[in-house]
Amino acid sequence: MIDFVQIAAVDPDFFKDRSGGGCIQDNNLFCPGWVVDNYDRYVDPTLQHLVLVLSAVGIGFAIAFSLAILAHRRRWLASPFLAATGVLYTIPSISFFFLLLPLTGRGTTTAIIALTAFTLQIIFRNVLTGLRNVPVEVTEAARGIGYTPKQMLWRVEIPLAMPEIVAGLRIATVSTVALATLAVFANGGGLGGEIISGSNLTFKTGIIVAGSIAVVMAILFDALILLLGRLLTPWKRAAAL
């Protein structure tokens, strides 16, 4: 049985200076003075959130990318892989965390497994779509000049599929930043702990700060991946000039 009271427990320091900075308990929507005095409480949760997102997306990309290449080479595998990753993706997020608890226990490992599972469908579908959208005449030309299947994959197909691959990675990363706030229910850390604490105490400032950090993190990740995609597709930049 999950002890929600324990999950949502807060340190007594949460209450320090809560009435300062021009705030009167919970009557104010946002209390800048409280944020200035308590910003340090968000450092560790933010770092934990980063670890959850980077681990889940990194592992998920490695698995989904490998499955997509295999399905591209063995087309009959595409449907089973899509079905399997689709089932994982449609499991309600909180339920997934709770289903894993008897198997992997409470902690970061459980959170990363669940978050990784949610990235598979998005990344797999985009990588496979990108590979299949490579023009046939291009692959035939590569084959005609003597490219082996391996050379054609890495020198032709994957570079041309890069826009779809990057698009899938962006969607998976941003959604993982949001879903990682639920890791608190598996005792996996992250910004969710601050959001839960704030909601249970009806203290809006705590919720706004934690939520804002997650939003900024998602925007930064999206911008970095978009920049990476442009660096990996220099011919698209040249065509736009």
Which of 179 and 32 is assigned the larger pLDDT?
179
Which of 30 and 205 is assigned the larger pLDDT?
205
Domains of the chain as residue ranges with CATH: 44-240 (1.10.3720.10)
pTM, rounded to two decimals:
0.84
d(C-alpha 79, C-alpha 83), whole Å = 6
For the chain, report the end-to-end CA distance as a whole number of angstroms: 60
List pLDDT tens digits, range 110-125: 999 999 999 999 999 9
Helix axes 108-132, 93-104, angle to 10 degrees: 120
- The angle formed by the CA atoms of residues 53, 11 and 30, to the nearest 5 degrees, is 75
DSSP per residue, 78-139: HHHHHHHHHHHHHS-HHHHHHHHHHHH-SSHHHHHHHHHHHHHHHHHHHHHHHHHTS-HHHH
d(C-alpha 222, C-alpha 171), whole Å = 8
Average pLDDT of the chain is 84
